[in-house]
Amino acid sequence: MRQFLSAVKTDMLFQFRHGFYIAYLLVAIIYIILLKAIPSQYQEMLTIFVIFSDPAILGFFFIGGIYLLEKGQNILENIFVTPFKVTSYLISKIVSLTWIALIFCLLILILVYGFQINYLPITLSILLTSTFFTLLGITLVVRVGTVNEYLFIVTPLYITIFFLPVLEILDIYQSSLFFILPSKASLLLLEGAFRTLTVAEWSYAIFTLLIWIAIAFLFAKNIFYRYVILKIGDE
């Protein structure tokens, strides 16, 4: 546990020193200004979109950036010739990115809505969405070599697929197929801030996200071993 907490602390210090938190703060300020300025009939829709995209897109961007920075500093080969395990590495990244997503999302919501909305489904949605997208980001970023490839090819491709259910929120397109995507479950939980969710909705959303997280975790661990651990010491 001491080992794990130290890894989380180091990840947070790393993110802070590389300016990730400043970037997050700037994004949060823009979101707050936007949400306050928008006419009230669109506010709920935009809030759901913003709070979904924050841990999803930023988590995805940030994990990519963090991994590529660590790779650029060749730090990984040295971490994995210690008793530190890949599982701990992955969880440490999830924890360090999720808490910051949670803090900033709650900050945005409290400044815009005060305590008039239901924070339980929102908190759950942010935690699970951030976990999933961080893992998805890891499975993809370890295969690509450069920031450009990650930002301009991988991110748009995957974000488009996983953002399809947003079309429903924006009243553009609806499909029952969206129910298999984790993002549909995330968005449903976010709706729970403004209306009461049924037991079936709660169960569907949590179960779907947990399944996707389990799959993403196994993929991330396997791909990390193949693309990172087996390449340790390569020049």
Partner 1 sequence: MIEVNELYFTYPGKKEPTVKGVDFKIKKGEIFGFLGPSGAGKSTLQKILIGILKNYKGSVKVFNQDLNQIKSDYYERIGVAFEFPNFYSKFTALENLSFFRSLYCGKTENPNELLSVVGLGEDGNTRFSNFSKGMKMRLNICRALLNDPDIIFLDEPTSGLDPVNSKKIRALILRKKAEGKTVVITTHNMNVAEELCDHVAFIVDGRVMLIDEPNKLKVQKGKKTLRVKYEHKNVTQTKDFPISGLGENRKFLQLLNENEIHTLHSQEASLEDIFIEVTGRKLL
Q: Is 230 in the site for partner 1 (CB under 8 A)?
A: yes
At 186, list the tokens: 């995330």
What sign does the CA torsion over 81, 82, 87, 92 have?
negative
Contact assessment for residue 190 and residue 105, using Cβ atoms and an 8 Å cutoff: no
Closest separation between CB of residue 90 and partner 1, Å?
15
Looking at the chain, how many residues does it have? 235
- Using the rule CB under 8 A, which residue among 40, 74, 148, 160 binds partner 1? 74
Structure token pair of residue 44: 């709920």
We find the least distance from the C-beta atom of residue 228 to partner 1, in angstroms, to be: 11
In this structure, which amino acid lies at residue 176?
S
State yes or no: residue 202 binds partner 1 (CB under 8 A): no
Among 26, 30, 73, 174, binds partner 1 (CB under 8 A): 73
List the x/- string, 12-41, binding to partner 1 by CB under 8 A: -xx--xx-----------------------
- Which of these segments, 39-47, 74-82, 139-147, 175-183, binds partner 1 (CB under 8 A)? 74-82
Nearer to partner 1, 81 or 172 (CB): 81
Judge whether 124 and 39 are in contact, CB under 8 Å. no
How far is residue 156's CA from residue 61's CA, in Å, rounded to a whole number? 11
Take residue 5 and report the two structure tokens written for it. Answer: 């907490």
Using rule CB under 8 A, residue 107 touches partner 1: no
Q: Does the footprint of partner 1 cover residue 172 (CB under 8 A)?
A: no
| Separation between Cα atoms, residue 176 and residue 158, nearest integer Å | 20
Structure token digits, residue 83 = 């008793």
Binding site for partner 1 (CB under 8 A): 2-3, 6-7, 10, 13-14, 17-18, 73-75, 77-85, 229-230, 232-233, 235
